[in-house]
Structure 1
Amino acid sequence: MDLNTMSGLISGKLTNWTEALIKLLPNIILAAVILVLGIYISKFVRKISRKIIGKVSYNVTLNNLFSSIIYLVVMGVVIFTVLTVLQLDKAVTSILAGAGILGLALAFAFQDIASNFMSGIFISFRKPIKVGDIVKLKDYMGKVIEINLRDTVIQTFEGQTIIIPNKEVYQNAIDNYSFIAKRRLDLKLGVSYGDDLAKVQEITKKAVSDLENRAMEDEITVFFVEFGDSSINLSCRIWLNSSEQPVFVKARSEAIMKIKAAYDANDIMIPFPIRTLDFGIKGGTTMTEMPVAFLSKSENSGD
């Protein structure tokens, strides 16, 4: 190939490209206008969406995330529109196909992260717990100190910091002690079989009636629950006007001290465990009442 032939080919290519560019020039101008307007519209939509979402959710991180997603979606529409105006349909199709394959691969690779992420979104909208609540999640009980999109952080009453994935939070039962801003204190007690139960019930209620932080609008209840081995067992239920753990622990200690002092002042006995040995076949026979012949036989046989 000589120099003249090569020059002719290059000149022809440049001429074709110039003609194509001139024909495409209106589309390029239109695409540029669409792109500029699309950028401004996307920013405006992101600003409006952040305000609207903020009225539903108080999680700033979640609000920014959703507004950014909306911004990216609008920008994606703008970019695909620009490519279509520029008659790059094949490029649009290739981008969509590539995005679909990439999204599928990422979904399999990060399914646990995605599951925790979606659970965090549901938690933010449903609000089963919030920062500062006293909760029991799985085997952990403590105060919620942080709720992220991927995990929830709890500080136990022993001072440990527990990070629980949001999937575990959302899919398991939650004991929220702060939901009604009150907490019930249950005390298990036992009194002697020889005590007057009506008197026990009255004195128990009176002993804890002036308990600190007691919810005065709720009645103190005392129920006898069972005949124990050494005592008649009862349950005393007291509602506190706070769900905080220090208040609960202090109230429990104070209630035990008040009930013990009241029982001592009124000759009500909290019995020690008692074991009774019964040597009769039908019951009710002590060792001293057993026949001498039976005792001698037992001694000779080594029993």
Structure 2
Amino acid sequence: MVHKANRPTVHDIRAMKARGQKISMLYVTTPEEAAAADAAGIDMLSIEGRFFTPEMREAAGRCFVQVGLPFGGWGKFEGRHLSTAEDYLRAAFHFTAMGGDCFYCAASLDIQKVLCDNHVPVVAHVGLIPSYITWTGWRAVGKTATEARAVWNHVKQLEAIGCFGAELEVVPDRLGAFISQNTPMIMLGMGAGPGADAQYLFAEDVLGCTDGHKPRHAKTYRNFAAEYARLQAERIAAFREFVADVNTGAYPQPQHNVAMPAEEFDAFTAGLAT
């Protein structure tokens, strides 16, 4: 396991922004994805709390890990949904002890402020916010001057309470660049154009894990969906061959069985007669 002292810190990520260094970021859900990200040199990982375990932290290696704190109807911590600032603080401290480096929190400003006041590195969310989607619909946010100002005002509110960064999702590229250049927060761009501090994608989109809808900003580098389909066909074929072997008696064969010396079996059956 990579010692914590050898992993990037909030200070290091801020220094990357100050240098104008681009930051790569992936959302992952498995230790295999986390380990691959570390081996590939990905800078930051986003891992939901429900997936974050000591095994995931070890697999993530030198990656800076953002842990997603459960919000609303998704995910639970200690068997319950988080609702109060104390709930969120307890969860953040728990995941800090496990090796989390910063924490995504989509709760209200007052809850986010409590986390910030307790020196928890908080990543908020601006632009298209999935947990608030009923207010905007699934669309780009900030294409008009009025909406752009609302996004900017939200950023300034987050700055004021001490947030470390924010996911900047599906906003016009010009707005994404302007915000990133004019805030000390780390802006993690997902469909926010090349001017965002980080470029953030889901591993499932990068790997082409699904055949369904992909967002405009997603880029697929491999076709895992086809590989998964091939593997599933191979599973079915193998299971059918097993069924056929069972039905014909081809399985099990002698090498699959446990042998018993004939004299021992004879002694066993003879003993049943007494």
| TM-score category (smaller protein) | under 0.3
Instruction: Select the structure with the greater relative contact order (CA < 8 A; seq sep ≥ 6).
Output: 2
Structure with more of its chain in helix, by fraction: 1
Task: Using structure 1 for the length normalisation, give the TM-score.
Answer: 0.20
Q: Which has the larger radius of gyration?
A: 1
